[in-house]
Amino acid sequence: MTRPGPRQRGVYAISVAAEMVTMQVQNLRVYERRGLLRPDRTDGGTRLYSAEDIDRLHRIRDLLAEGLNLAGIARVLDLEAENARLRDRLRDRLRD
């Protein structure tokens, strides 16, 4: 199993993550329950947010500001991830 890179490793407690993105802690819990992000957990169950999670929370905040609901945000995030995977595949093929 590969270890996560520095941007994927959870280091921020929920209160710190919420402050970094100017959101309420309760919102971060809701976003996790809705599957919009999956922070790491300690053995004791404490959430730890990575730099990538913080970026994702900023994106969620931006999409909320544009008027999307959580279902719409989930769809946009899924489509953006799929688009990135396809771009990576294309880039890999062009290198070969």
- Over residues 27-66, the pLDDT tens digits come to 999 999 999 999 999 999 999 999 999 999 999 999 999 9
Tally of CA atoms within 13 A in the half-sphere of 23 that contains its CB: 22
Cα 75 to Cα 21, 37, 49, 85, 91, distances in angstroms: 21, 13, 22, 15, 24
Q: What is the CATH number of the domain that holds 30?
A: 1.10.1660.10
User: Is 44 part of a structural domain of the chain?
Assistant: yes
- The strand pairing partners of 48, in sequence order, are 40
Q: Flag whether 9 is in a domain.
A: no
Q: Is residue 6 part of a domain?
A: no
Spacing of C-alpha 7 from chain mean position: 11
Range of the domain at 88: 14-95
Q: What is the value of pTM for the model shown?
A: 0.86
pLDDT at 2 over 70: no
